[in-house]
């Protein structure tokens, strides 16, 4: 008997079994699945491939919002996924001991068995890691670190001053400026290492590496088979870090100390989280200020009235009293959240009672989440959601409306897994904005450069708003622009900088 006489029928039988399995699986997902009653795109009932397509295009956050507009506040977003769009669900999911991080976050694990603060599931383990990281970015550490942060901000201000020289001022890409600045600050804070991205090109490769890694990781979270790009080249140079010294100083057992695998695991999440969240908020804020003359004027007046000299601009009560500054930062974080997508969760395996999210029973094995971009642009909680309105956060807005917005605000997530670097992000953003407006005026670059960062009129993919700062979902929010031209103010001087 020829071997082909055996192989051909075997291949046919296997193919038929695969086809039969596929038909049965799809039939189950449509007709018998526990989530069958929830509305949503029909293709989402069958597979995650449709969402994966939009992950590749970095626009799943836009699609998620459009699905909520079409299907409602609770939608089936995949065969085993429910997506919510309410503040009640936000707090029920992310501040709930019966909910844990989804299994898809295992794609972030760089060394088997070694978890970072971002990937760890066990609550006690998470608390221990957060305590270590918290020592680096708590209020006391921030006060000690602020002079180093101010030194990096001074480099940024010097670069702006050089760009503003007449008669030929140069347009500045603020995304690039803020990414370099934020990376230099995080490099010093977490690793005690001068990256010098603002002044040298040597280490700038790491930005593209982090963006590529985030994008590929986002794809893996949906397809679960792709490989993540690495950043070991830069992490290995960061062994003498504040993060390591803080942790090792607090532990006595050799087994409890942080080793190279843990540095890698923490660094791969801590570094981009610390850098991209601040640079994104600042880029968005300057984008909207450059097209909102009344907001620009009100903020500049507040800063220039509050501080008699540049050296007064530092963390403390006077900076904290700049309420419109804080409102501008919050509005930038709302309209362009650092993580525009969905942070997926699932029911804990050891739950002894049913999990209820905003009145909905969640079957075991179901992934649940709230899309941050979608809830931040839900007109039920944020009137005119695509309009930059910092005053919505101030006392001039009715208290009930502000409470509704605060409940839906999730720029740093909520609950015990909320961003550990929130205080650092606010301090850094406040110092950068206040010092920039103390020394400079700015306007959009003329021509096409002045349009960078906004949408394209006529686009049918959710990016048609010319006046909306565009985010590209790669777990964090990638972006570009705005291009601005700076003018040194007549009543301030770069030589005054201290």
Using CA atoms, how far apart are residues 432 and 298, in angstroms rounded to an integer? 17
Q: What token pair was written down for 104? A: 């898809």
Cβ–Cβ under 8 Å, residues 149 and 185: yes
Using CA atoms, how far apart are residues 149 and 151, in angstroms rounded to an integer? 5
Ramachandran region, residue 170 (left: φ > 0; alpha: ψ -120 to 50; beta: rest) = beta
Q: What token pair was written down for 328? A: 């501008």
DSSP state letter for 167: T
DSSP state letter for 84: E
Using CA atoms, how far apart are residues 247 and 460, in angstroms rounded to an integer? 50
Of 350, 331, 298, 307, the closest CA to residue 429 belongs to 331
Tally of residues, the chain = 498
Using CA atoms, how far apart are residues 96 and 91, in angstroms rounded to an integer? 8
Is the backbone peptide bond immediately before 470 cis, with ω within 30 degrees of 0?
no
Q: Does the annotation flag 419 for ligand binding?
A: yes
Q: What token pair was written down for 40? A: 């949503």
| Cα angle for residues 349, 352, 353 (degrees, 5° grid) | 110
| Cα angle for residues 114, 120, 123 (degrees, 5° grid) | 130
Q: What token pair was written down for 238? A: 């960061």
| Cα angle for residues 396, 399, 404 (degrees, 5° grid) | 120
- What φ, ψ does residue 87 adopt, rounded to 5°? -60, -35
Q: What token pair was written down for 343? A: 């942070």
* CA-to-CA dists, residue 45 to 105, 154, 368, 438, angstroms: 22, 53, 15, 54
- DSSP-assigned beta bridge partners for residue 111: 114
DSSP state letter for 255: G
Three-class secondary structure of residue 423 per DSSP? helix
Using CA atoms, how far apart are residues 481 and 449, in angstroms rounded to an integer? 9
Using CA atoms, how far apart are residues 148 and 235, in angstroms rounded to an integer? 21
Using CA atoms, how far apart are residues 129 and 134, in angstroms rounded to an integer? 8
- Cα Rg of the chain, angstroms: 24
Annotated binding site: 419
Annotated binding site for heme: 419
């Amino acid at each position: 008997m020829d071997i082909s006489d055996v192989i051909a029928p075997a291949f046919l039988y296997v193919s038929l079994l695969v086809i039969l399995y596929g038909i049965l699986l799809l039939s189950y997902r449509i007709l018998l699945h526990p989530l069958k009653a929830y509305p949503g795109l029909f293709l989402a009932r069958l597979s995650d491939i449709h969402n994966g397509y939009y992950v590749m295009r970095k626009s799943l956050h836009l699609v998620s919002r459009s699905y909520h507009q079409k299907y409602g506040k609770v939608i089936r977003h995949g065969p085993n996924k429910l997506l919510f769009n309410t503040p009640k669900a936000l707090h029920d999911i992310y501040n709930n001991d019966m909910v844990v991080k989804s299994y898809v976050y295992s794609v972030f694990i760089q060394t088997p068995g070694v978890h970072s603060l971002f990937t760890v599931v066990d609550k006690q383990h998470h608390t221990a890691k957060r305590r270590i990281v918290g020592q680096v970015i708590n209020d006391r550490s921030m006060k000690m670190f602020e002079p180093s942060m101010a030194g990096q901000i001074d480099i940024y201000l010097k670069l702006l001053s050089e760009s503003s020289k007449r008669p030929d001022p140069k347009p500045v890409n603020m995304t690039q400026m803020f990414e370099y600045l934020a990376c230099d600050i995080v490099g010093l804070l977490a690793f005690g290492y001068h990256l010098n991205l603002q002044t040298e090109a040597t280490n700038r490769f790491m930005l593209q590496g982090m963006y590529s890694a985030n994008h590929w990781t986002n794809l893996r979270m949906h397809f679960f088979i792709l490989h993540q790009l690495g950043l070991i080249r830069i992490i290995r140079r960061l062994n003498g870090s504040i993060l390591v010294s803080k942790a090792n100083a607090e532990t006595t057992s050799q087994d409890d100390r942080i080793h190279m695998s843990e540095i890698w695991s923490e660094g791969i999440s801590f570094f981009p989280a610390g850098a991209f969240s601040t640079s994104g908020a600042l880029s968005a804020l300057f984008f909207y200020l450059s097209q909102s003359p009344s907001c620009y004027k009100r903020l500049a007046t507040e800063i220039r009235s509050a501080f008699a000299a540049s050296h007064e601009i530092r963390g403390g009560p006077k900076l904290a009293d700049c309420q419109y500054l804080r409102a501008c930062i919050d509005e930038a974080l709302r309209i362009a959240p650092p993580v525009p997508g969905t942070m997926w969760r699932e029911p804990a395996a050891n739950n002894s009672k049913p999990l209820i999210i905003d009145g909905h029973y969640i079957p075991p094995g179901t992934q649940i989440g709230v899309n941050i971009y979608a809830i931040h642009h839900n007109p039920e909680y944020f009137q005119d959601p695509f309009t930059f309105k910092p005053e919505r956060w101030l006392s001039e807005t009715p208290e009930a409306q502000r409470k509704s917005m605060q409940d839906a605000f999730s720029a740093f997530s909520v609950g015990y897994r909320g961003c550990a670097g929130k205080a650092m992000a606010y301090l850094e953003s406040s110092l950068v904005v206040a010092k920039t407006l103390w020394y400079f005026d700015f306007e959009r670059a003329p021509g096409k450069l002045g349009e960078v960062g906004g949408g394209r009129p006529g686009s049918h993919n959710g990016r048609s708003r010319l006046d909306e700062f565009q985010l590209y979902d790669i777990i964090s929010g990638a972006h570009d622009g705005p291009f601005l031209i700076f003018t040194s103010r007549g009543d301030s001087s770069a030589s005054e900088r201290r």
